[in-house]
Structures are given as structure tokens and as C-alpha cells.
Structure 1
Amino acid sequence: MTDIERQPDAEGEYREHLERSATVWDRWSDWYSMSEQDFEPIREDLIGHLGLEPGDRVLEIGCGPGVNFKPVLDAIGDEGQLVAIDYSPEMIAKANARVNENRWENVDVRRADATTADLGTGYDAALATLSMSVMPDVERTVRNVRGALTEGAPLGILDLQRFQSGPLRLGNPLLARFLRWYANWNVDGDVRAAVDDVFGGYELLGTHMLGTVYTLKAGRTVE
């Protein structure tokens, strides 16, 4: 079979994964507050590592209902700008409701596929919490985000991974199946490997929850 003959199947799988993500996260949008509280200290620590300053322009990938908006806006101030991307209509609606409730005028919430969308350029930092591993094409998404960053700008990621060591690794197949059902996790994607390949390395900031949750920071350098 030629590459041309395989392409429609690959495109179909991509679209299926993308639309399933919208369905799954629409379903969980009403219950996101549970994970918001559990992950709040980890999120805030990651945002702190980005070194945000007043006036910075920040890109958030997979913003969900906007749980990161306040700490980001506290750092960049009224003169900064936050552009937030998500593909779930329900998450977008809740993010916009949060913006309206708080009367934030420097937040731009957009429904888009972060893998293929024109994200623009000139961002001083990018952030993705619990979102990069559900993208239909993880490496392509990372490359798209990198292209939107200015030289030296950091990308911060909080995400999930399989057990990395010890006897708990025996449960990885079950964990992967659960995460695919629960969050439409891309079982074929490897966020850390993609970031390493695209950015030429990263700093692992920490691991949590028996090693299944991690945070990392990478920076765009001159090509």
C-alpha cells in the first residue's frame, strides 16, 4: 500500500480523535472543578516557573474552563494579553463565562484545533496543562506551538504519563485504557519525547501522584 493510499485512513483517524475529544471534554466540562482543586498547586507552581512579567503575551493550549486564567493574569497584568485555545464548545463557553464574570478585557478565548490552527506569533510564553497528551498529533502540536513563540520564550507543560518504574508499571496498559476513556488520551503520543525532539531538550520540574503527573519547561532557541 502506498503513502497516498494510507493518507485518507490517517486523516480519518485524526478527525475521529479530534471530534471524540470535543465530545469527551464537553461531557466532563461540568465536573472539571474536581481536578481544578486537586491540580491547583501544581498548576500555579508551573506558571511560576515561566517567569511571566507585566505586559507579556501568553498562549494557553487546551484552556478548558479557564482554570489558569487568574494566575496568568496576575502575572502579566492589565497590559498583558492571554490567548486561550480549546476545541470543546462547552469548555469554551465556560471559559468565556469566567472571563465575563471577572470582567477581564485582555483574554481572547478561541475555539480551534491547536495542532493545525494559525496560532499567530510573538508570544512570550505558552502553557498547556492536562491537554497536550490528548492532541490527535502530539508532535505536530508541539511544533505549532514552538512556531508561535518568540526567541527564548518558555513552554510549560503539566501532563499525565504511564508509571515510569517499579511494579506499578504492570498496570500501565490498564491506566492507558482508562485515560483514553476518561480523557481521550492519545495512547500513541509521547509528549516528553515530542518536546525533546522539537525543542532540543527540556527541564523536568517535578513529578507527582506516583510519577503519573509531571511538569516540564522547554525554551525556544535560535534555529
Structure 2
Amino acid sequence: MATETPDREHTPTNETRDPDDSQYAAHLERSRTVWDRWSDYYTMSETDLEPLREAAIDRLELQPGDRVLEIGCGPGVNFERVRSEIGEQGELVAVDYSPEMIAKARARIDHHGWENVEVRRADATTAEFDDPFDAAIATLSLSVMPDIHRAVETVSQSLVPDTTFVVVDVRPVPDGPARVLNPFLWRFLRWYANWNPDDDVVDALATVFDTHELVDSSLAGTLYTVVCEKER
């Protein structure tokens, strides 16, 4: 199990926020602006982080016919690999809030002619789904949500029992001498990704899911993977 202690100056909270709250709305709108801006350049990280994303999808242990939820799909960099696992019998439902990211994800779907991949523009903290899922994944998305804890609850409520949720995300340096870089890193993540300093992804996962395990980390612990299990 892994529960990290964040920097004291940016202590996270699991208090649920009201989507009608002005601060919540401002964060959501800024996320839309930021990720619309970066949508044309996302392919750079698509290649660089491919091994990490592939390893995360491996941990889902998907089967043909599975129904998969992706939170914060961006331009759909995970679609091809997930669909290769679930086959034509399965279904992938992906959510993102950026209209530009959605447009690029749908263009990818149209290019490949995938009929069982659907992209919805929605706030992941309040999204609702008609049918449950057999697995879920979020890569580099949860930490920019305006209410991380509620987004994690949304995922949990959308999964059937005995299923896996895999998260790949970024954070300030959790420990060691490199923590002196955190003030700079904190500002960079806020500028680059509209990172949410008030919530902690790992802590939210530990609170909501039955089990969680930090299975991989790199770059002084700033890039990490957590595997969660919903047992009931």
C-alpha cells in the first residue's frame, strides 16, 4: 500500500466541492483552456510515455468483450491498445472536458473506423453512465480535476465488483533531497496542466477503493502508477 505525505504548504483535502462553486467552475474552465491549447502538441508525450501507458493497460488484464472506462482520454492515445484487448465485442467509453481533445479523439476513431469506441465531453467528477464497466484507466488526468476525490468516487461507482482501476499521474517530489525543487515543480504543473494542489490523487484512491498499490514510480517519484481494486 502507498499513502504519500504532501508538502505541508499545499495540504490536500478530501472535502467534496460543489460543482456550482465559483472556484470549482473556474478550475474546470481553466482546464478546458489549458488542454485546448496543448491539444496540438500532445503527440510529443504520446511517444515519450508510451511504455508507461502500455504497462498500465497491461495491469488491467483486459479480456475480449470487456467494457472499459477511460477518464481524461485526451486525443485518444490509449484507444488502439485498449481496443486491441477488448476486441470488437467490447466497448470503450472515454470522457474528456476539452473540446479540442474530444475533436482529436473522435478524428482518431473515425480514421480507424472503430464502432465500439465512444467519446463524451463531460466533467469526470459528475459524469453518469447507464451501464457499469469491467475496468477503468486514467493517465495523466486525475490530478488536474477540480475535485479529485469526487472523480475517483465516480469511477468506483461506475465499476462492477472485482474490477481494476489503474492510474498514471504526476505529483511533486514525495521525499528526499529533490523536494527542494517542489516550489518550482508546483508552479510548472499549475501553468502547464492546471494541476490541482488542493487534493491528493493517491490519498483519494486509498480512501475510495478497497485496495490500492503504488506499483511504479520514476523521475524522483514524480511520475507514478497506482493499481486499485474494487472488491464489492
Q: Does 1:130 align with 2:106?
A: no
1:8 CA drift (Å): 8.2
Residue number among 120, 128, 136 corresponding to 1:118 in the alignment:
128
Provide the TM-score with structure 2 as the length reference.
0.90
Confirm or deny: 8 A CA contact 2:18 2:24 kept in the other structure: no
The percent of aligned pairs where both chains have the same amino acid is 55
Aligned length, in residue pairs? 216
Partner of 1:145: 155
Residue number among 35, 44, 50 corresponding to 2:60 in the alignment:
50
Residue number among 159, 169, 172 corresponding to 2:182 in the alignment:
172
Confirm or deny: 8 A CA contact 1:60 1:127 kept in the other structure: yes
Distance 1:151 1:25 in 2: 33
**Gapped regions of structure 1 (runs ≥ 5):** 1-6
Runs of 4+ with >4 A deviation: 7-10
Partner of 1:210: 220
Confirm or deny: 8 A CA contact 2:67 2:135 kept in the other structure: yes
Partner of 1:76: 86
Distance 2:39 2:146 in 1: 19
Q: Does 1:194 align with 2:194?
A: no
Q: Using CA pairs under 8 Å that are at least 6 residues apart, name the structure with larger relative contact order, 1 or 2.
A: 2
Q: Does 1:18 align with 2:28?
A: yes
Question: SS at 1:153's partner residue?
Answer: strand
Provide the TM-score with structure 1 as the length reference.
0.94
Partner of 2:167: 157
Partner of 1:3: none
Distance 1:120 1:48 in 2: 26
Distance 2:19 2:119 in 1: 32
Change (3 A) 1:9 1:147: closer
Distance 1:8 1:51 in 2: 35
Question: SS at 1:172's partner residue?
Answer: helix
Distance 1:8 1:151 in 2: 28
Confirm or deny: 8 A CA contact 1:121 1:147 kept in the other structure: no
Partner of 2:3: none
Structure in which a larger fraction of residues adopt helix: 1
